[in-house]
């Protein structure tokens, strides 16, 4: 199980989704969805990775941009899950 989620997550995203040679890397707060780096299939790959790498279970209702849209948000989400803390879930209005 990885100890430093942010760097592990960044490495996974860069390896799995950054295919353009002109990209210099990925910022902690860069929107993966907004930048077009990841789509719905990519989100499913990301969720599978998070569950396998960090030993967490991602609930369907937790698959929202507030939890999974940037390296920083994903790392914070993983930290909450590993600590057993409740995860805030955005409800559709």
Which domain, by its residues, includes 36?
A: 5-83
Domain contains 88? no
CATH code, domain carrying 13: 1.10.1200.10
Domain count, the chain: 1
Per-residue confidence (pLDDT) for residue 93, from 0 to 100: 40
Q: How much is the average pLDDT of 66-80?
A: 96
| pLDDT exceeds cutoff 70 at 72 | yes
Residues 6+ apart with CB under 8 A from 29: 70, 71, 72
Structure tokens given for 37: 């780096």
Longest dimension (CA), the chain: 39
Per-residue confidence (pLDDT) for residue 67, from 0 to 100: 96
pLDDT band at 84 (very low <50, low <70, confident <90, very high): confident
Query: pLDDT tens for residues 31-67?
Result: 999 988 999 999 999 999 999 999 999 999 999 999 9
Domain contains 30? yes
Domain contains 93? no
């Amino acid at each position: 199980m990885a100890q430093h989620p942010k760097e592990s997550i960044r490495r996974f995203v860069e390896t799995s989704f950054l295919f353009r040679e002109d990209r210099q890397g990925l910022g902690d707060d860069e929107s993966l969805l907004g930048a077009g780096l990841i789509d719905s299939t990519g989100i499913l790959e990301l969720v599978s990775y998070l569950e396998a790498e960090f030993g967490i279970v991602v609930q369907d209702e937790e698959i929202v941009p507030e939890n999974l849209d940037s390296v920083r948000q994903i790392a914070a989400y993983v930290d909450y899950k590993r600590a057993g803390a409740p995860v805030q879930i955005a409800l559709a209005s």
